[in-house]
Chain A
């Protein structure tokens, strides 16, 4: 659990905002990811939580090298993947795979399940010689709990949960070391969501996979993650073990986020101290100066507008938090009775 399999250093991804058709002028940048550093250890699950627009999906795309970073680096076992291209990049992609959110749009409706899961073998023929491919696909189907007999069916013949299993089988085909899960269960019903979460855990134990698990559902993330990073407007505001984040959060945003999670227990109704955030997340085109959370923060002082708080361990805390006034606060809402 000590070796870093993936390291992200000062990662920045900006998208230009342009005006005009012929004479395109860049009038600003969407700062989707703005200086993110973290590491993924071998065999662990790193949860990434945050609200929509905080940059967590962009982070996934950069980690997969589907987007080149504006600045910073992504190191896979010490090798900067954002500088790779051609054959080297293709070989690397075998090690990092992606499970996407929407099992309805991420599977080509004209391909059979066999073709969908077998397609990675077309690109990497050395993994499975042509003759053994169907057998391999059947093994994968069995592994994710689908009937191997259904190899010739089309995606529309499966339910949402089954399609997500197909997506997982496809990600597993090349026996990667890292799987990046971008909201893999948020489109599923509760009873199906639990099945898929159990499957992900089982596969991790079986193959020693490392997961980056991106989701907005805080209880799902807690269930699966060893460590958790909380993102707000393109930055990590707090990172720590699952216990540190959920039991002893020190950043006001983490505290507010956790307190807003509805707890499935009516007897706790009046005992919860919910921190009400006002307003919406500011635009990532022109984020607030200093601390990005200050416009919604109840602790904000003058210093918050002037200085960007660093993600570091402060006194009275045991894990990094990007707040000038990081401190513990009782969050009753996260505890089950």
Chain B
């Protein structure tokens, strides 16, 4: 079935070597709006990013920045209406998925790109056993028999380190703890061996000790399979631990993109600077936290010019007039700020 999906010249080698120059997954100038009774909310306003095999891209942003809607659009699970794609492309192995038929997209889902959701309890179906929900994919997509599918599903549960996988196969989601449910979700998303995994806030609902377990598991699975991983999160701590590259989103735009070390050492956008400054740090006890003043913009009424200008400590008249494009600053990093050069060259 997979040969329908990928053409011979675009299939990357499993180890990432001999890979053609084409990107694995690219989002280009994506635009999405939500048409509601109260008006049109411009949720995504030209998002461009890509992920390659074996690479972890972290998409960082606060609620309402559009990071999850971008993921939903990639997966083709955007609620329409109210959500409408108004422009841009999502290319998988160079082919625009937004132009594909529903049937073609369905084949990519699971085998090409899979997704792990934040809240495993509501993402799993409560009336089917966990094992059934994993095995179902093998039966429908791989045409395996019931017994073979079960065997493969137990293997998957075992791979994500669920103790007593065989016994757990016939448990329902509510019989699993939060961490185990997230493991089961990961098993389900990896069942068809996807090339790209999108993890949307996979550990936000979990406690720190369990969060560490799940992030380890994701990293291990990615290494083994050389997957491209898109990690969507608001947690600057988790990002620092696992990401290769980071794209920072604000009001439906990428405002900064850089490798993880450059971004933390010298952020090149005032929003990123503000975010990093507002995390409580262990070594600055007692001092006031530096904050970003004000609130994120209303997406139905995004301010003209740079969307961050009303909250920006550096804002100049030009920021209220011209939208700063996402431009290269220095080596392999980009920032959408009129003063990015100055920020990068500061001491």
Contacts and interface: CB of A to CB of B under 8 A. Distances in A.
Interface of A: 51-52, 159-162, 189-195, 197-198, 201, 216, 218-220, 222-223, 242, 246, 256-257, 260-269, 274, 276-278, 280-281, 334-336
Contact of B208 (A51, A246, A269): A51
Nearest to B237: A262
B261 interface: yes
A190 B278 contact: yes
A262 B289 contact: no
B280 interface: yes
Contacts, number: 123
Interface in B63-91: 63
Contact of B280 (A194, A246, A278): A194
Interface string B32-63: 00000000000000000000000000000011
A52 B234 contact: no
A144 to B, nearest CB: 15
Which 4 pairs from chain A and chain B are nearest by CB?
A: A262-B237, A194-B278, A223-B280, A51-B207
A123 B84 CA distance: 50
Interface stretch (B95-103, B209-217, B220-228, B331-339): B209-217
A242 B63 CA distance: 31
Interface size classification for chain B: 35 or more
A52 B207 contact: yes
A267 B288 contact: no
30 contacts: A51-B207, A51-B210, A162-B295, A194-B289, A197-B280, A218-B208, A219-B281, A219-B282, A222-B285, A223-B284, A223-B285, A223-B289, A256-B209, A262-B211, A262-B237, A262-B241, A263-B237, A263-B240, A263-B241, A264-B240, A265-B240, A266-B261, A266-B264, A267-B264, A268-B240, A269-B240, A276-B212, A280-B178, A334-B282, A335-B282
Contacts of A51: 207-210
B229 to A, nearest CB: 16
Contacts of A52: 178, 207
A256 B288 CA distance: 28
B261 A159 contact: no
Given A189-B63, A194-B291, A265-B264, A280 B237 contact: no
Given A194-B291, A198-B289, A222 B280 contact: yes
Given A216-B207, A260-B211, A190 B236 contact: yes
A21 B281 CA distance: 52
Contact of B291 (A160, A191, A277, A278): A191
Contacts of B279: 190, 194, 219, 264
A262 B235 contact: yes
Nearest to A50: B207
Contacts of B241: 262-263, 266, 269
A161 B295 contact: yes
Contacts of B179: 280
B238 interface: yes
A200 to B, nearest CB: 11
Contacts of B211: 260, 262
B292 interface: yes
A242 B284 CA distance: 13
B283 interface: yes
Contacts of A220: 280
B280 A257 contact: no
B30 to A, nearest CB: 23
B99 to A, nearest CB: 35
B292 A191 contact: yes
Nearest to A243: B285
A159 B280 contact: no
Contacts of B234: 189-190
A191 B208 contact: no
A264 B208 contact: no
A262 B240 contact: yes
Interface string B176-218: 0111100000000000000000000000000111111101100
A193 B278 contact: yes
B240 A260 contact: no
